Amino acid sequence: MLLNRQFGLNPTADAYHSAFRLPETIATLLTGGTLANAMIPVLLGVAYARGSAAEQRLVNLVATTLLVVITPLVLLGIAVAPWFVDYVLAPGFNQPTRALTALLTRILMLELLLVVVVSVATAVLISRNQFLLPGIAIAVHNLTLIIGILVTMLFPQIGIFGPAIGAVCDALLQLAILLPGLWWQNFRYRPVWNLHDADLREVIRLIIPNGLSSVVNYGGGIVDNRYASLAQEGSVTALYNAFLLIGVPTRLFGVAIGQAAFPRMATYVVERNWRAVRRTALWATTVALALGAVTIAGLWLFGRLTIRILFEGGEFDAAAGDLTFALLLAYALALPAAIATEILTRGLIALHDTRDTAAYQHGAT
């Protein structure tokens, strides 16, 4: 909201939103929900069969392996950012906007190293049914981004770099919230390296298809960004705003309900209580879809008013609101599929069924 009012639909805002595409695509491959979904069922199985010491060793092994893998990816992303922006992400931008996009991309790539640790910590806490700190970490998401925007308002010469640095600091804040939870759970990080470990390979087996499916989804965003850059000025930002709004019910009803049901389904799988697995998946999907249907009606009736209240003002005018609303209505058509995908894929992951999970997500995409 503050970002839109400060920058509106202009090339600077387009550069900022475009800069997230490459870091977010890499992040979805190895971290975030992809990692949590892969780690939780394996952690539960290891803890159930061999105890907390083996569970902690697996956590350290996964964290070490991911840091070793993602560090060169970050360096590679920083190196190829200008080429990626010029020829893939935003060929329709003018040269100064492409240069700004590449610089912002390089800044945001640094966040990936922190996101790895945040993702591992989140998976550990959720696997132990500790939802408070992960919930707080989600609740304060974008707090440092807001601070960065406010700093830019006070010191305009900072420009778009205020929000960009604020976005990077967001992972630091989340880490500061989650680490005490690991400490209270008696988890201590110690580097462990063993690529032949069977439990690590099981986590990787679960990560790969789901990570690739997420990359397909975010790859679609890169394609959208590419063609939006060829349209009228501000189209990239309008597209981002519409996706942001439709993401609220997706996360609220799909991700949140699915994430809450996931540890239970994974536990039932370990116990081989198949009736409870089906009952939990059906209940979660039914509730989420019912809430999603109400949301679609609300978007059609009150979406334009919501955009006016949230975004319009400052540099964001009525024409920008109209463009954002048109894109929001297009996204709303896919809301039921997006919500169902989030829940049903978690059910398949709980069953350690990665092949059908990947096929389902590719079909939804």
Q: How far is the C-alpha of 101 from the C-alpha of 224, rounded, in Å?
A: 16
Residues 77 and 194 grouped into a single domain: yes
Q: How far is the C-alpha of 348 from the C-alpha of 354, rounded, in Å?
A: 7
Of 232, 262, 279, the position where a domain reaches its end is: 232
Helices 256-270 and 111-127 sit at what angle, rounded to 10 degrees? Answer: 50
For 142, left (φ over 0), alpha (ψ -120 to 50), or beta?
A: left
pTM assigned to the model: 0.80
Question: What pLDDT score was predicted for residue 105?
Answer: 97
Residues 33 and 157 grouped into a single domain: yes
Q: How far is the C-alpha of 74 from the C-alpha of 283, rounded, in Å?
A: 40
Ranges of residues in the chain with a pLDDT under 50 are: 360, 362
Residues 94 and 223 grouped into a single domain: yes
Domain membership of residue 216 (yes or no) is yes
- Which residues have C-beta within 8 Å of that of residue 326, sequence separation ≥ 6? none
Of 211, 232, 253, the position where a domain reaches its end is: 232
Residues 30 and 115 grouped into a single domain: yes
Residues 179 and 324 grouped into a single domain: no
Short-list 115, 138, 125, CA closest to 29: 115
Residues 135 and 33 grouped into a single domain: yes
Question: What pLDDT score was predicted for residue 38?
Answer: 86
Q: How far is the C-alpha of 99 from the C-alpha of 105, rounded, in Å?
A: 10
Q: How far is the C-alpha of 136 from the C-alpha of 115, rounded, in Å?
A: 16
Q: How far is the C-alpha of 5 from the C-alpha of 10, rounded, in Å?
A: 11
Question: What pLDDT score was predicted for residue 235?
Answer: 92
Residues 239 and 285 grouped into a single domain: yes
In a 13 Å sphere around the CA of 180, the CA atoms on its Cβ side amount to 9
List the alpha helices (DSSP H) in 271-334: 274-310, 318-332
Q: How far is the C-alpha of 340 from the C-alpha of 345, rounded, in Å?
A: 8
For 232, left (φ over 0), alpha (ψ -120 to 50), or beta?
A: beta
CB 185 within 8 A of CB 132: no
- Give the start-end residues of each E strand in 111-251: none
Neighbours of 194 (CB within 10 A): 12
Q: What range defines the domain where residue 265 resides?
A: 234-359
Q: Which residues pair with 313 in a beta bridge?
A: 316
H or E segment and range at residue 38: helix 32-50
Question: What pLDDT score was predicted for residue 356?
Answer: 52
Residues 219 and 70 grouped into a single domain: yes
Of 232, 262, 287, the position where a domain reaches its end is: 232
Q: How many domains does the chain have?
A: 2
